[in-house]
Amino acid sequence: MLRRVVNVIVMVALSGVVYACAAVEEGDDEGLPDDAELDEVESRGQCEGGANGFRDIPDTLRGSKVYSVNLGPAGFPRVTLYYGNVGGVRRGWAMIDGSTHVGDLVWMDWTRDGGRTWIQCGPFPVDYDGWTKTSAAQRTSSSSSWRFRACGRAHGAYSVCGAWW
């Protein structure tokens, strides 16, 4: 029986950094991350550790609230877009809070062209039931093209994003 080789390559388009590269035989992918996990690694890599000007922040950090969006009916968590002073710089970030469960997700989209294209910072999963989680923070700008939106997904629900701000 012939087996074909499948190549798995994940790249961050803006930085050109290869995050994962593997060749496996079809049907022999034990131990490798699934497509959703690869997407998560790629998206988080665009903003963790100072990438693209983002700054890692504590998962409990709150600032001035721009808006909150419920991720479902009553009893579901919400995502909130905040801005505030982080390390002497005004920055924006997203937070998930409320009735969170392990694995609920938060991320922040950031655009420099008014929403035509964007970088997804995250998703970042909630570590423990009832805990908050934040995205990394990005500096704000007076430019109308430089915008953010908070997004999230609770277990068993659809992804939800707030308006661009």
Report the range of poorest mean pLDDT among 11-15, 42-46, 61-65, 150-154: 11-15
Q: How many residues are listed for the chain in this entry?
A: 165
Per-residue pLDDT band for 49 (boundaries 50, 70, 90) equals: confident
Residue 77 confidence (pLDDT) above 80: yes
Separation between Cα atoms, residue 82 and residue 90, nearest integer Å: 11
CB-facing half-sphere around the CA of 123: CA atoms within 13 A:
21
pLDDT at 123: 95
* CATH number of the domain bearing residue 112: 2.60.40
Are residues 136 and 71 located together in one domain of the fold?
yes
Residue 9 confidence (pLDDT) above 90: no
Are residues 70 and 126 located together in one domain of the fold?
yes
Are residues 71 and 89 located together in one domain of the fold?
yes
Are residues 73 and 134 located together in one domain of the fold?
yes
Residue 33 confidence (pLDDT) above 80: no
Neighbours of 15 (CB within 10 A): 12
Are residues 129 and 148 located together in one domain of the fold?
yes
Are residues 67 and 133 located together in one domain of the fold?
yes
Per-residue pLDDT band for 42 (boundaries 50, 70, 90) equals: low
- Comparison of pLDDT for 56 and 12, the residue scoring more: 56
Are residues 101 and 142 located together in one domain of the fold?
yes
Q: Which domain holds residue 9?
A: 5-51
Say if residue 1 is exposed, middle or buried (CB neighbours under 10 Å; 0-12, 13-18, 19+): exposed
Say if residue 72 is exposed, middle or buried (CB neighbours under 10 Å; 0-12, 13-18, 19+): middle
Are residues 97 and 141 located together in one domain of the fold?
yes
Are residues 96 and 39 located together in one domain of the fold?
no
Q: Write down the pTM of the prediction.
A: 0.74
Residue 46 confidence (pLDDT) above 50: yes
Are residues 151 and 92 located together in one domain of the fold?
yes
pLDDT tens digits for range 92-132: 999 999 999 999 999 999 999 999 999 999 999 999 999 99
